[in-house]
Structure 1
Amino acid sequence: MITEDGNWRNWAGNQRVAGVDVVHPTSADEIAAALVRAGESGRRVRPIGSGHSFTAIGRPEDVQLVLDRHAALVDVDGAGLVTVQAGMPLHRLNAELAARGWSLTNLGDIDRQTVSGALSTGTHGTGARFGGLATQLRALDLVLADGSRLHCSADENADVFAAARIGLGALGVLDTVTLQAEPAFALRAEEGPARLGDLLDGFGEFMTSTDHVEFYWFPHTDRCLTKRNTRVPLESGLAPLPRWRAVWEDEVLSNIVFAGMVAAGRRRPALIPQLAAVTARGLGRRSWTDASHRVFVSRRRVRFVEMEYAVPRDEAPAILTELHRIAAAGEFQASFPVEVRVAAADDIPLSTASGRDTAYIAAHVPARTDPGSWFAALESLAGSVGGRPHWGKLHGLDAAALRTRYPRFDEFTALRARLDPVGVLGNAHLDRVLGPVGG
């Protein structure tokens, strides 16, 4: 994200705006003052974290509320309840917790997002027994559009808490959040190649074979890279990758060399299937043990745009089978692997895993590339089984379609109308996916 003189773009560069007012609040009072000023002048405000969403969810129209100066650690108590200001980035939170002997239960594979942005869009990791980041929330403080404050937990303003755990920045601006951490643990990571057909035939068994499982399928091939992370006590000892190997494999091969291959594919799309085959043939095995946040997270230096759909877990193999057919038929040249993860059901109204055990299928294309039929195919296939798009990733659905995917959709929009009746915390994107306030 870049915010200079009212010019902004997100991480991927596919969302841009110029000429907006930019406010960097340092306190809840300053957040409230910015909201009140905007409401009095008929202007709309969007809070933003680090700009890692690919949708226009954070795109401001009048005022952008940047939370980079509202990012302090407030407290970590003896039971692992950690309270932070909403603008703290996840990588800083992980470091603060590790220094005190705590870890978050689960993480996605990127840690550059702010806590508020990750929570508000439904960021998740993988693990059949584990929910997304929002399931670790225990309390939150909102600044409402009229400048008032609301403390929310399971015991206080419980209806707001239930919805605001994944609130899209539409109910209020997050001031502080309290997450439940757990005693620090390590992960034993095992990576290796596999055939797509084998993984799909035994999908349920493989994805539940240890604590945190995912795989990456390389379109135009039947090859996959599997990642299996098993939780182990820190006391059992760490065995991280040697520094030279981590730099070579995770920086040189996964970022620098991959960037070159993506660039070659953009210049000559006909080469993409051959490049995918070369990449897939180079997959090897490795294993190591390190602190959980170091294993969960990967560096992503090659910029892309992404679509991710959450589908009922049992439906994932059929969708991937059809995507494989589309890629093999040459209907689209896909240079990025497809990521497949799982998560447990939860009870959050706008969670992609609300009420059902879920599989996530994520497709990517290089930044500044038209995703064309590749994203359209995933959206159509996922839609046929009631798939729900990640709130921060590209999709084409509107409020009418999303209402059919979320049984508690109207509960959320009614709460939005009550807390922000004139739509101060809105933009065109929220009008599309939630409907206009009062509409």
Structure 2
Amino acid sequence: MSSSNVPSTNTWSNCIGQQTCHPKYLLYPTSLQDLIDAIRLGRKENLKVRAVGSGHSFSDVAPTDDILLDPHGMNQVLKVDASLLRDPLKESSLFAVQSGITIRELNLALDKAGKALINIGAYDGQTLAGAISTGTHGKGITLGPMASSVRSLVVVSETGDVYQYEPSNGITDQDKFATDAAKAGMTLKQDDDFFQSVVVCMGCMGLIYSYIIEVVPTYFLIENRTVSSWENVKTELAMTKGGLLPEVLTYNRHYEVDINPYAIKGVHHCIVQTTNEVKTTHASGSRGFKNWLAGLLASWPVAEDVLVDILNEFPKASPWIVGNALSTLVDVNYIDKSYVVLNIGKVNNIKGLAMELSFPVDENLVNSIDNLFAIFADEASAKRWYLAGPIALRFVAPSQAYLAPQEGRPTCMVELDMIYGVMTGGDLLKSVTQRVISGNPAVRVHWGLDLDTVTGRQVQMRYGKYSKWLAVYRQLNSTGMFNSVFTDRLGISVDPNSNTAKLT
């Protein structure tokens, strides 16, 4: 494991340079032993330890000025030992990898093996651990977030001990595990509270070495993107009698709506995207631009700083600029492998910023989205603050992970996108989020797409199993080794002398 210990040269920043830190040690682990050594270093020098991913989070979940680990060197495919499984026949549906593998690398490895992820987010540059640990979700009302595919994970604790966490009915046979020489020094803990807490823990409960995830055979998707309006779409999203989910969500594998948050001549224009599995082995057709940022640059072929200057000087142009960008996304019958279709990528020469809110899919959903648009209109009228980007609605199945934004309920994840560099952008996103949260106690915020706004009290009010998560956290961070600016913000940093974490 390589490292540097000169503070002036150790600088880490996220993908847009909006979160930065200057760790005393910046380490690049490649093995389980490297993680153990990092914990030992932290214990020896009384330093806190954090692991980062690809820096795709806009919140303060990653930064530390003590020991920071970049896990990209832990990107190997591992072997699932069928002899240790309760049901050896399940080996073909399981895939083991180190935690620092990027989703792009994982997709390629799976494809080579004739397999695919059940669900993925819209960007493949994240590390697997970074995506899972912050609640990254993908889409599909019958498909849970990425954490739902985890069957087992190996974690190095604050003491340097190694644990393999699984649900109570986990995939591993305890007796076989206990007598296996390769597992010497490792403890198997099959416990629902521990597993459902650790799987989405924002790096607060240990250093994740590896995962075993459930996968499926390679499959193809057919994508269609059509122009519509929110005024039409919201009738389709109304709950049916008896509280059943809207048919448009259950009929399609994936259903997504990208909306202009501002009405033009009384209409919120949008793109409706449906994606369904198709029985084929060949790609065909072509799509519009992968994402709205690419379409934006095509509509406004100027340098990024010039476009940002235009939006800063003429914020009222945002609705028309966003509308033009959305119109470039249309496609019909575009077919390719699942991971190709679902990855909308990023644009190298322009930066985006986002927050994401989690709403329950219930009878109040349409009114909640209408209220969100009203808040944006009010912010524009009162302050001349405009969102320089669309709003995306993605629908996800409930999660069992205690702090997953989708925990316990069918969920509509509402992403608020904009170009980074618009001077009022961050203030607008924070203001809108706080107004939504204060008016709706059911709304949660994505852990990675939060501009450091959420408090511990708000988390406590919104997650029914937060007390169970907090109890596990106190056990696994009893020394405060995994304290950070993030845990400080939530008011849960542990005092090692009292082993308590108090909400503030």
Please say whether Structure 1 and Structure 2 have the same fold, judged by a TM-score greater than 0.5. Answer: yes
- Give yes or no for the alignment of 1:56 onto 2:87: no
Structure 2 unpaired stretches of 5+: 83-90, 171-188, 238-245, 495-499
Bigger mean CA deviation after superposition, 259-268 or 155-164: 259-268
Match of 1:160 among 168, 175, 194: 194
Unaligned runs of 5+ in 1: none
What is the correspondence of 1:82-97 to structure 2 with a 5 Å cutoff?
82-97=95-110
5 Å matches for 1:318-337?
A: 318-329=367-378, 330-331=380-381, 332-337=385-390
Report whether the alignment pairs 1:16 with 2:20: yes
Residue of structure 2 in register with 1:340 after alignment: 393
Alpha-carbon distance between aligned partners in 1 of 2:290 and 2:58, rounded to the nearest angstrom:
29
Aligned to 1:309, the other structure's residue is in SS state strand
Greater Rg over alpha carbons, structure:
2
SS at match of 1:206: helix
Q: Report how many aligned residue pairs link the two structures.
A: 433
- Pairing of 1:352-367 with structure 2 (within 5 A): 352-367=405-420
Give deviations 1:43-83, integer Å, cap 9, x for gaps. 11110111111001001121101101111111368512111
Deviation at 1:431, TM superposition (A): 2.3
Q: 2:333 aligns with which of 281, 287, 312?
A: 287
SS of the aligned residue for 2:210 comes to: strand
Q: CA deviation at 1:365?
A: 2.8
Candidates 181, 194, 212, aligned match of 2:254:
212
Q: Secondary structure at the match of 1:79?
A: helix
Question: Does the CA-based 8 Å contact 1:53-1:393 persist in structure 2?
Answer: yes
| d(CA) in 2 for partners of 1:249, 1:58 | 26
TM-aligned CA deviation for residue 36 of structure 1 = 1.6
Structure 2 SS opposite 1:289: strand
Q: Is the CA contact (8 Å cut-off) linking 1:45 and 1:61 kept in structure 2?
A: no
**Structure 2 partner of 1:25:** 29
**1:171–1:31 distance in 2 versus 1, CA, 3 Å:** same
Q: Distance in 2 between matches of 1:99 and 1:254?
A: 34
**113-122 or 200-209, larger mean C-alpha shift:** 200-209
Q: Is the 8 A contact 1:193 1:285 kept in 2?
A: no
8 Å CA contact 1:187, 1:232 repeated in 2: yes
Amino acid paired to 2:360: P
TM-score normalised according to structure 1 size:
0.92
Indicate if the aligned counterparts of 2:135 and 2:447 stay in contact, CA closer than 8 A: yes
Q: Which moved more, 1:349-358 or 1:12-21?
A: 12-21
Identity of aligned residues (%): 22
What is the alpha-carbon distance in structure 1 between the residues aligned to residue 391 and residue 308 of structure 2? 15
User: Separation in 1 of the partners of 2:327 and 2:214?
Assistant: 42
Residue 299 (structure 1) aligns with:
345
Residue 426 of structure 1 is matched in structure 2 by 483
Find the counterpart in structure 1 of residue 216 from structure 2.
182
- Aligned residues of 1:46 and 1:425 also touching (Cα < 8 A): yes
Are positions 1:75 and 2:131 aligned together?
no
**Partner residue in 2 for 1:42:** 46
1:154-303 to 2 correspondences below 5 Å: 154=167, 155=170, 156-158=189-191, 159-203=193-237, 204-221=246-263, 222-235=268-281, 237-241=282-286, 253=295, 255=297, 257=299, 261-262=307-308, 264-280=310-326, 284-301=330-347, 302-303=350-351
Q: Distance in 1 between matches of 2:324 and 2:34?
A: 53
TM-score, with structure 2 as normaliser:
0.81
CA distance in 2, matches of 1:351, 1:282: 33
| Distance verdict in 2 for CA 1:318–1:333, change over 3 Å | same
Distance across 1 between alignment mates of 2:308 and 2:255: 26
Give RMSD over aligned pairs: 2.3
Q: Where does residue 114 of structure 1 map in the other structure? A: 127
| Deviations 1:83-123, CA, capped at 9 Å, x for gaps | 11110000000011011110101111011100110111011
